A and B are shown apart, each in its own frame.
Chain A
Amino acid sequence: QVQLQESGPGLVIPSQTLSLTCTVSGGSISSADYYWGWIRQPPGKGLEWIGDISFSGNTYYNPSLNSRVAVSMDMSKNQFSLSLKSVTAADTAVYYCARSPFTHYYHRSGRTSRRTNYLDYWGQGTLVAVSS
């Protein structure tokens, strides 16, 4: 069974860059069957999707964070990462990494893959506080 584990600093100074890594075990991030994303949850509040990356390196980001966020992957380590620049106190949250499946459609000329956009496995989350 796939497992995801977030890691990174628990405290970031305002205006600096938040960097987190998600290590995946029990599955390969290079698989064409899945893509990998980040979601955050401010203390006591709801969930906000940040963005994700596919095995081919295609990325999708929330426009509300688009200019500050980047998601990357290191297949050699089976890890993917989140970078969020110019953080403020509003970025204080529990950050989760998660997996999303592709759905594949097979036809005579080959295969078409479609994002399912649901999150079937999640890491346990890591709290990141932005404070001086």
Chain B
Amino acid sequence: DAGVIQSPRHEVTEMGQEVTLRCKPISGHNSLFWYRQTMMRGLELLIYFNNNVPIDDSGMPEDRFSAKMPNASFSTLKIQPSEPRDSAVYFCASSFENSNQPQHFGDGTRLSIL
């Protein structure tokens, strides 16, 4: 079975540029989560969706960050404009809605803002 697929795996760009990270959840999963991982702050939940609807975006650091889920098989996390402090590994995870089900993680996008 295909797992959660994230693209790109690596992104290097200059500050001020727009960055778009993509995620394809596991087919049939109806919850999707975006995380950010850094050495300083560990694993942070940014936003999550249920049935394509954003439920809680309180973890989004500022207005430069936005996320969408136009359909059940695709989500994007966008940073505009990007800043060096946004450098991190960004993970997408998906699961069934039932709370006894685990989240399944993608391999992440390693983002470097120069």
A binds B: no
Could you list which residues of chain B lie within 8 angstroms of chain A, going by C-beta atoms?
none
